[in-house]
Chains A and B, each alone.
Chain A
Amino acid sequence: MSGNLAWWIEIPVALLLVLSGLFALAAGVGVVRFKTFFQRMHPPALAYSFAAWCVTLASIVYFSAQDDKLALRSWLIIIFLSLTVPVTTILLARTELFRRRTAGGGSGRSGDEIPPALNQELI
């Protein structure tokens, strides 16, 4: 293990970490703040996309500089996330639509209406 890294490596790593922290925090704020379920589904995508990219890029830069070889391993995390996030998101969106339609009626709040089904026979 080499000792301290050059300072010009540490600056981009630190910057990326701060950015990812801010975006993850915004995701948490959005999940609590918004009033309707579908509006709440958008902020976590901040954590899944930009925050995850920043952390991964930071760790690639850091470990590549530390071990003097390209450490692309954490790239797997991004690949994996981009495969799994759509599955979870679509399942949750389908769940909300299905449950709200079978329960009938919305919460009565404006902007919280559920649109009619594209496939009427399936709900």
Chain B
Amino acid sequence: MTPLLFGAIVFAQACFALAMGLALVRLLRGPSAQDRVLAMDLICTLAMLMMMVLAIRYRSSMYFEAALLIAVFGFIGSAAMAKFLLRGEVIE
């Protein structure tokens, strides 16, 4: 791996981590509950992107499974929480 690609990978990971930190600020501060759900959803997506960058960094496609799992659980969690906020029941 050339220094160019390695630098790009580290840069992307740093950006994702910083964005996750900013979303965490919104998660902790967010005035309403749906703000927190939105921030949590963004964090899940960024974690998924981070996994895909790790797959390139360590040259292992095993990380795709982790990325898919994070995407699935992030989606289920966000949808269930939004549904709960919408009517107060997850299952109607």
Residues of A bordering B, CB below 8 Å: 1, 4, 7, 10-11, 13-15, 17-18, 20-22, 24-25, 27-29, 31-32, 37, 40-41, 44, 47-48, 51-52, 55-56, 58-59, 62-63, 66, 71, 73-74, 76-77, 80-81, 84, 87-88, 91-92, 94-96, 98-99, 107
Q: List 12 A-B contacts (CB under 8 A).
A: A10-B4, A14-B5, A17-B53, A21-B13, A24-B19, A32-B22, A55-B12, A55-B52, A87-B79, A92-B37, A92-B38, A95-B37
Q: Is the CB of B68 within 8 A of A80?
A: yes
Give the size category of B's interface with A.
Answer: 35 or more
Residues of B bordering A, CB below 8 Å: 1-2, 4-5, 7-9, 11-16, 18-23, 25-26, 31-32, 34-35, 37-39, 41-42, 45-46, 48-49, 52-53, 55-56, 59, 61, 64, 67-68, 71-72, 75, 78-79, 82-83, 85-86
Residues of A within 8 A of B19 (CB): 24-25, 27-29, 47
Residues of A within 8 A of B26 (CB): 31-32, 40
A73 to B82, CA, bound (A): 30
Q: Is the CB of A74 within 8 A of B64?
A: yes
